Amino acid sequence: MKCNLKKIDPEIANLIVAETKRQRYTLDLIPSENIVSRAILEALGSPLTNKYSEGYPSRRYYAGNTVIDDVEVLAQERARKAFRLGKEWHVNVQPYSGSPANLAVYVGLLKPGEKILGMSLPFGGHLTHGWKVSVTGKFFTAVQYGVNRDGFLDYDEIAVLAKKEKPRIVVAGATAYPRVIDFEQFAKIAHGVGAYLMVDMAHIAGLVAAGAHPSPFPYADIVSTTTHKTLRGPRGAIIFVNKNSKIAADYKIDIASAIDKAVFPGLQGGPHDNQTAAIAVALKEASTPAFKKYGHQIVKNARALARALQKLKFDLVSGGTDNHLMLIDLTNLGISGREAQDRLESVSIITNRNTIPYDTRSPFDPSGIRIGTPSLTTRGMKEREMKLVAGFIHEALIGNNARTVRKKVIVLCKKFPLNN
């Protein structure tokens, strides 16, 4: 059956064209966004979307899932390969996205009201690390840690908090922390109080796969991740479970089975099989030498961008970056995060306003913006282009040459076109 979207639904077709054009002619500096390959788009748009497959490989509630089983098993095997793991790591590739994945871990391992120790949202954590407006902060007792005045995690303070509160799960991971996280220290803290260590590596998964960031796997009991962001795959998530977890053995829990049951049937029905296939494609890409080079270039670009911004007198939280992102404190410029975001969008530079540690402004109009380099690196840009981008940001926020800056941005976009 042949179908032409423009003929069947011209409104949606035109909106897709408009969004494609917007992406083509903007510099995307949002750290959680990236550009997937054509192969991933093909998998997402495949007939796999037609199938329903409640359950797990060889244990489905519907017939006709032989091929789907192969797809899911392949995704699991590729996940282990991408992160250099053995069979002691169980892999669940069914969560629809990162938030349901994190919730599934809590539902599988905790009773309502038991404690989670996670990073506070205003200090760089995620909603699902126990923030009060999230279901994770409503169904469970959340205790939060932050960063010191210099913008760094204080592991001694976190250890004191853990000993006092005795959580059942300690969550390590962030959405707006520009420094390397010491997973070994977190393991000592968590295991020292009889807690699971769960690492949410959603933002840095691609860097870990590339060897551009220390791996959490030698230390964690559970690792969750989204499959987009630096991993450069489709929207989705993976939960890795260490079947040899000493904490799980102490609690006499089959940790892999408990989390699988929390995903299905606990929180969702059948997986999105087209998404699973696209995740498998992304994981194959992440196991290549080219991806390793890409992951290291993300970090090189982020550091180059940070240095260039600092030379232009921008104030960076923690004084720089070790990963793919940075936080700009705009207080000394006298403009808010929302105003900066809007000014930059007017010249086709896409960022997101973000709270900074100890922010006194509203989260709807905070004191900072968060920027990162994954998308620009995917387009092929390197350190030289980062200096140009820093200059564009400076001109847009400090000067009055919006039209000129936008022209420069479009020229750079044309020089480094989208590959999908």
Domain ranges of the chain: 43-286, 298-415
How do strand 59-60 and strand 55-56 relate by DSSP bridges? Answer: antiparallel
pLDDT at 399: 83
Q: In sequence order, what are the residues at sequence separation of 6 or more whose Cβ sits closer than 8 angstroms to the Cβ of residue 20?
A: none
CA distance 290 to 77: 20
pLDDT at 367: 97
Q: Distance of CA 389 to CAs 105, 260, 261, 386, 402, Å?
A: 39, 44, 46, 5, 14
Contact (Cβ atoms closer than 8 angstroms) between residue 225 and residue 198: no
Element (H, E) at 126: none
Residues with catalytic roles: 52, 54, 200, 226, 229, 235
**Class in CATH terms, 43-286:** alpha beta
Task: Name residue 370's beta-bridge partners.
Answer: 327, 352
Q: How many residues in the chain?
A: 420
Amino acid at 17: V
CATH architecture of 298-415: Alpha-Beta Complex (3.90)
pLDDT at 192: 98
DSSP helix/strand/coil, 185:
helix
**Positions in the chain whose pLDDT score sits under 70:** 1-2
Return the closest-CA partner of residue 123 out of 330, 365, 316, 354. 354
- What DSSP line would sit under 78-98, residue for residue? HHHHHTT--TTEEEE---SSH
pLDDT at 89: 98
**Do 43-286 and 298-415 share a fold?**
no
pLDDT at 200: 98
CA distance 237 to 97: 5
Return the closest-CA partner of residue 329 out of 367, 373, 372. 367
